[in-house]
Amino acid sequence: DGGITQSPKYLFRKEGQNVTLSCEQNLNHDAMYWYRQDPGQGLRLIYYSQIVNDFQKGDIAEGYSVSREKKESFPLTVTSAQKNPTAFYLCASSLTELYSNQPQHFGDGTRLSIL
């Protein structure tokens, strides 16, 4: 079955620590995305990648970093510079980002909390 796998499901971060959230897809999609979800605020775009070795900042990129070394993988690092990292993080992919009618497919999320 094709899909998006996010791990871990729950993650705890200590003060001053960087943590990395994993996202893997086997849908052969070119485009991948990271969103942050806070209660009552919908989803906000952190970073996105249209193709391997390329990525762009979304609306709330400060304190986050990403890489896209392989088509299947788009890990997100939450750095110590992100002062309010507690949230539900969702990874998504779409066949291509070139057209606006492409739906996105979502993983089941990682819930990050501060210790």
Please state, as a whole number, how many other Cβ atoms lie within 10 Å of the Cβ of residue 18.
Answer: 12
Nearest distance from C-beta of residue 115 to other proteins, angstroms: 20
* Nearer residue to other proteins within complex by CB, 16 or 40: 40
Least distance CB 16 / other proteins (angstroms): 28
- How many residues sit in the footprint of other proteins (CB under 8 A)? 30
Residue 63 is a binding residue for other proteins (CB under 8 A)? no
Read off the tokens for 81. Answer: 């510079």
Options 12-20, 66-74, 76-84, 99-107: segment touching other proteins (CB under 8 A): 99-107
Question: Residue 19 or residue 92: which is nearer to other proteins going by CB?
Answer: 92
- If binding is defined by CB under 8 A, does position 101 make contact with other proteins? yes
